[in-house]
Structure 1
Amino acid sequence: MRIGNLDSRLVLVTDRGAVDVATASGGEFGPDPQEVYVRWEAFVDWAAALDLDSAAAVPFDPERLGAPVPRPGQLFAIGMNYRDHAAEAGFDLPESPPVFTKFRGSITGPSGRVVLPGETVDWEVELVVVIGRTASRVSAEDAWSHVAGITAGQDLSERTTQLAGPAPQFSLGKSFPGFTPMGPWLVTLDELVVAGLDRDALDLGCSVNGESVQKGNTADLVFSVPELIARLSAVLPLEPGDVIFTGTPAGVGAARDPRWFLKPGDRLVSTIAGIGELDQQFVAASKEM
């Protein structure tokens, strides 16, 4: 199942187009894409009984898609969670997951323009996990059962702001408008099985103007998705609709020699197997419309 946010309305995405959930359910489920996670188990049961082949589906322009999780109560982001990324940054592998957040005002859909607030904006493609059932002190073995689905994300980062002292400002440096694109939709775990994909080993990567800059696989995570959920939920409950950005592989611009950052006119395309792609184009602040 693919679940989308089309013009701020909850939809099921099919090969024929988008099925409006509020309409198809006769109002049993509302149009708000965020609210579906609160009733996730009931929604999954309803969707399983729906005849998608006969449901009214409308073709749509992908540029109308918003983030599948537009207003998470909590957004966790994990640093240094790929072995090769830790190595390129010159750090030892962490003994526990480094955690920060990205503020909600930075969340946007899978495509569109992003205004560059400075000259050191970097890319970080990431697998994003969305919680579907409250997780409190869960084991890693049980963690996937608390997941609604996965999506693609970019942890765009203004490195100068991020590293400004005396204490680094990770959350601020990663939360400018448009710095948290997600999408193109949420993919449930059963959809990966149908596609013959391993939820714990998904290829991901991104390119700038057609040139590959990152390429990795989630099998190389230092802390796997189940381990992240177990460790986070040991500290505080994870609630339906919460989001976890799981980290990025090697290839970021700040670690290159010479360093390489995004500039006006650049196009960043990020992909994750079984999910789809994000497409951001960057403009100078003076050209914001």
Structure 2
Amino acid sequence: MKLVTYRDSAAGEGRLGVVQDNMIIDVEKLGHAVGAVLPSSMLELIDLGPDAQAAIRRAVRETAEARPAGIAIHEENARLLAPIPRPRKNIFGIGLNYVEHVAESAKSLDTSKDLPQKPVVFSKPPTAVIANGEPIQHNAAMTQQLDWEVELAVIIGKRATRINKEDAMSHVFGYSVINDVSARDNRRAGQWIFSKGQDSYCPFGPAIVTADEIADPHNLVLWLTKNGEEKQRSNTKHLLFDIPTLIADISSGITLEPGDIIATGTPAGVGAGRDPQEWMWPGDVIECGVEGIGILRNPVVKIGQ
């Protein structure tokens, strides 16, 4: 399923929807139509586990021929929020997880030229999350080096503590797209959270695609454009540490819980690695795409003085 969190009016609360044929089917209303209790939010669905997903699929099939009025709206009439508008915990970020990005970072960001021996883990707070279409904030008093990073996001569906790699994929709920926005001139003594965790520095969406719909998450094309010009293009098959390794590594010391998000790292082509270096400025429009999931589009806007 392709799942979204949406509003059908400017003042409405975020609601859980299933996307089919350019329509968003409201999950809770769908449940009412078939006499079932179905969740109204993404986190509630994740918490309920596979049985709730199966119930939604059954309800969609049951109403496919004669969909009751009022349970679906056209995508164009909905405002998409981030799939999980307010994550419960910090997003786990993974640095230096594509070989070519390790090389470009060593040249421009003073990181080691040697491949990491273990995943490089940092985090982005929930307040950094913004939705498809919402603005990436550019505060010139804070940064003159605002950079982009397209990434495949993994959403955890089942609690994971000290999980081995062989069992890791059974803990995945689905996949999405993240732009790991980074203020390169805001790193502090090797610490990245202020560089990567400021407000609006985690565009996320537009949807979550459930794990059963992605045949091989390690063979997905991902790309990024700035004002229509391609800056990044690669494939998740080039991940240095694959998804099972990331889940096993993080869960070895930090319990992963339903709804947790792992941004798996970015390929080469970031602004800091280009010659000459390029940055995001007010007026730019950034589009991030991952095959089979969708395109995340965000303008860059000026804030502050």
Relative to the length of structure 2, the TM-score reads 0.87
Tell me the equivalent position of 1:89.
Answer: 105
Q: Which runs of 5+ in 1 are unaligned?
A: none
Q: How does 1:10-21 map to 2 (within 5 A)?
A: 10-21=16-27
1:36, CA displacement in angstroms? 1.9
Q: How many residues align?
A: 280
Q: Which runs of 5+ in 2 are unaligned?
A: 8-13, 107-112
Are residue 202 (structure 1) and residue 220 (structure 2) matched? yes
CA contact (8 A) 1:70 1:108 kept: yes
| Residues 236-245 or 16-25, more deviating | 16-25
- Given residue 275 of structure 2, which amino acid in structure 1 is its aligned partner? D
Q: Distance in 2 between matches of 1:283 and 1:108?
A: 13
Q: Distance in 2 between matches of 1:16 and 1:66?
A: 16
Are residue 252 (structure 1) and residue 258 (structure 2) matched? no
Report the structure number with the largest CA radius of gyration.
Answer: 2
Are residue 28 (structure 1) and residue 54 (structure 2) matched? no
Identity %: 37
1:45 to 49, 54, 58: 54
Tell me the equivalent position of 2:110.
Answer: none
Tell me the equivalent position of 2:206.
Answer: 184
- Given residue 171 of structure 2, which amino acid in structure 1 is its aligned partner? H
- What is the DSSP-based 3-state SS (H/G/I as helix, E as strand, rest coil) of the residue aligned with 1:61? helix
CA RMSD of aligned residues (A): 1.7
Q: Distance in 1 between matches of 2:116 and 2:200?
A: 29
CA contact (8 A) 2:222 2:291 kept: yes
- What is the DSSP-based 3-state SS (H/G/I as helix, E as strand, rest coil) of the residue aligned with 1:95? coil
CA contact (8 A) 2:16 2:27 kept: yes
Q: Distance in 1 between matches of 2:244 and 2:288?
A: 24
CA contact (8 A) 1:63 1:112 kept: no
Are residue 231 (structure 1) and residue 249 (structure 2) matched? yes
Provide, for residues 159-207 of structure 1, a one-character-per-residue CA deviation record: whole Å limited to 9, x for no partner: 111x23xx234112212222111111000122224xxxx2211000101
- Given residue 290 of structure 2, which amino acid in structure 1 is its aligned partner? I
- What is the DSSP-based 3-state SS (H/G/I as helix, E as strand, rest coil) of the residue aligned with 1:94? coil
1:236, CA displacement in angstroms? 2.2
Q: Distance in 1 between matches of 2:77 and 2:276?
A: 35
- Given residue 141 of structure 1, which amino acid in structure 2 is its aligned partner? E
1:142, CA displacement in angstroms? 1.5
1:63, CA displacement in angstroms? 6.8
Tell me the equivalent position of 2:95.
Answer: 79
Relative to the length of structure 1, the TM-score reads 0.92
Moved over 4 A (4+): none
